[in-house]
Structure 1
């Protein structure tokens, strides 16, 4: 066994070499310097190790092992942005090095950029098909985005190749213990107007089922508006079509003047490289007349953030009304924990149904500005999902154009998940 005085002398010699390099500029053997940096880093002298590595890179910028180890030290220090930059460089220059991909994916996971980690594993698996280590990293990232069904399918790919893989077996067991495929939910909301209207109330009871073909959600909506009560039965489906392609289908029925008699719609979503997603679809609302709305979206997952832009186009009486919303989400531990900000302008019949009645043609040219802030979080091992949203709108009065009121809204929701 090496005694402590020898270890101390070795570290002292390493530090002396480091300071000589700093004083004279780099003139040494890069392989020796890399090994010196490793000793420094593994003995809690990471700042000195990083300075040594940077000195080597000043003279040998294409020494990828040096840059990769530098990126790893940044990741260990929690400086994920610096690590991401260095990993991106070595992966671009040497994509055939699997270890760099693995380290880069772990950096994204440690920084809680789980959507980015999923995208990176997809790219890596194109170069290293069916690689067990990469598949495990992908399954972990999918789990962290609450895509437990896809995480299970990914782990099963590992077990098909190697049924005795202990890590994969343990992961599958863990998923089985924590994965929830059913949920029931309650949502309550109230709109308070600065003038004209009394407060309006909204309640929703829902049941959701997650299947390998996609998600199904059934909802019962009860509203009290204009001193009238009304209810609506609604269904949302999210069928998976193929890898990176899924759909949204909506169908609703009501027998109340404060809801459309019939509503239906569909939208197609396509994942693109670099964390992008696009969609296109339509909605149809049947009051006394039919109103068709055409919409789509552009979404972008970057790190642990998400941006989306959604316009609405509503043709009516030979004209087309346009409205739109931009949304930003800052994710925390997983896809159910985030802070959301949405700003919208214009009026969409899909979102602002309260301005329509069975006797009047829908008014879609009203001027509106709206800001929504929401906080979404989970408790008790993600079994309970909660949300609270506050919304303020400056809305033109439908029967008195040019005059406005303020609308203040509060929404709270709770979902209970179970197997």
Structure 2
């Protein structure tokens, strides 16, 4: 292998030296092309391009060489140079599908979706109904924020080849992108080691994605302490600028099982090195007063994993109550397919396990530890999203400090996305 690399280097050196002396190329273009390809694939792009350009001084219409030259420019982000190479070839002969494909990719990588779409349409005049070019056209339409048009283009592929895997996968992606509405149902159940009967929680929601962000309306129904209560909530996730969005929540209830009124706000921002941070508050208003909870988060994306920490700080008569959780997610195909682990210490202020009336200060100081695992996945081309979560908590009993309950929990969720 070492001897082979030295041979490549010497050949390239001789070619470049002759070029620098103004000599004409007199070698075997196919052999030199093979050497240039080896150089390019071994990250010796400049040396490869010198060799390719030298060959073209004698064989300017050796289009395979010029096409590969253009590809090396694209790989290195030299999109204008690549554009010139591909344009030269197409002006000579438009019947080169691979050149069209390489040129379209170059424009997509350069962020020029309109150019890519124009090239795809031009290429299709020479290669009507070609699946590869139609796929690239759909890709250009997606980059140009035209998902409905991209869907129609993919249908042209499916009409001729119903089993085309790339088109099917792309259609599933588009169906997901065009499904702006979502309805869902979740149910959670907690079982106590002593004293309390099982507690049951149900939620129904409707959400819609808009150009300003997403909005979710939710109805929560709880069955606890031999009573049933209902709460109405709205969650908003407005986009402010790129890398900055907010969370706003409003909720109300007439049941003692919930706060009379709740409101929340939090600001999220992207940071360098794949970090994300947020800062905000939650407020729970009862007949006896309002509990304000300050919170935030620090998260880190690494590969297909996301690790984040969320603390809660609650001012009270004796100072501050502090709690927090560490959460880890391992993503698979997208944001709806992942597994999770969560570890928490301290009382979770947003839990609805208690009758808070007159006990807010004592409850928020309760000791607690928790652990849970979850698995979330989609079916039916991402139209259906499912989730299951199981956990165990060790929770101090509010009316018997120093004594603890073990709480076993199981949650199941289901969402349907539609246009």
TM-score of the two chains, using structure 2 as the length reference: 0.65
Question: Which residue number in structure 2 is paired with residue 180 of structure 1?
Answer: 179
Instruction: State the secondary structure of the residue aligned to 2:301.
Output: strand
Instruction: State the secondary structure of the residue aligned to 1:402.
Output: strand
Question: Which residue number in structure 1 is paired with residue 381 of structure 2?
Answer: 381
What are the equivalent positions in structure 2 for 1:180-219 lying under 5 Å apart?
A: 180-219=179-218
Gapped runs of 5+ residues in structure 2?
Answer: 14-30, 49-74, 81-106, 118-137, 157-170
Is contact 2:8-2:35 (8 Å) kept?
no
Question: Which residue number in structure 2 is paired with residue 158 of structure 1?
Answer: 144
Distance change (3 Å), C-alpha of 1:97 and 1:194: farther
Distance change (3 Å), C-alpha of 1:389 and 1:35: same
Instruction: State the secondary structure of the residue aligned to 1:266.
Output: strand
What are the equivalent positions in structure 2 for 1:64-79 lying under 5 Å apart?
A: none
Distance change (3 Å), C-alpha of 1:35 and 1:320: farther
Q: Kindly indicate whether structure 1 or structure 2 has the higher relative contact order, using CA contacts under 8 Å at least 6 residues apart.
A: 1
* Deviation larger for 272-281 or 382-391: 272-281
Is contact 1:325-1:342 (8 Å) kept?
yes
What are the equivalent positions in structure 2 for 1:1-400 lying under 5 Å apart?
A: 18=1, 20-21=3-4, 28-29=10-11, 35=34, 38=37, 53=42, 63=44, 97=78, 130=112, 155=141, 158=144, 170=153, 174=171, 177-178=175-176, 179-287=178-286, 288-350=288-350, 352-362=351-361, 363-400=363-400
Deviations along 1:61-94, whole A, 9 cap, x unmatched?
A: xx45699xxxxxxxxxxxxxxxxxxxxxxxxxx9
> CA offset at residue 273 of structure 1?
2.5
Instruction: State the secondary structure of the residue aligned to 2:256.
Output: coil
Q: d(CA) in 2 for partners of 1:316 and 1:269?
A: 26
Q: d(CA) in 2 for partners of 1:134 and 1:320?
A: 58
Distance change (3 Å), C-alpha of 1:21 and 1:295: same
Q: d(CA) in 2 for partners of 1:33 and 1:401?
A: 83
Deviations along 1:103-148, whole A, 9 cap, x unmatched?
A: xxxxxxxxxxxxxxxxxxxxxx9x956566999xxxxxxxxxxxxx
Q: Which structure has the bigger radius of gyration?
A: 2
Is contact 1:155-1:168 (8 Å) kept?
no
Instruction: State the number of aligned residues.
Output: 312
Distance change (3 Å), C-alpha of 1:314 and 1:65: farther
Deviations along 1:252-311, whole A, 9 cap, x unmatched?
A: 010111100000010011112332211100000012221000000111222111111111
Q: d(CA) in 1 for partners of 2:236 and 2:155?
A: 27
Is contact 1:194-1:407 (8 Å) kept?
yes
Q: d(CA) in 2 for partners of 1:403 and 1:340?
A: 30
Aligned-residue Cα RMSD (Å) equals 3.8
Q: d(CA) in 2 for partners of 1:133 and 1:381?
A: 31
Q: d(CA) in 2 for partners of 1:133 and 1:251?
A: 45
TM-score of the two chains, using structure 1 as the length reference: 0.65
Distance change (3 Å), C-alpha of 1:211 and 1:356: same
Deviations along 1:316-365, whole A, 9 cap, x unmatched?
A: 11411111111111111111000011111111321x23234212234222
Is contact 1:391-1:408 (8 Å) kept?
yes
Is contact 2:393-2:407 (8 Å) kept?
yes
* Deviation larger for 267-276 or 188-197: 267-276
> CA offset at residue 404 of structure 1?
1.2
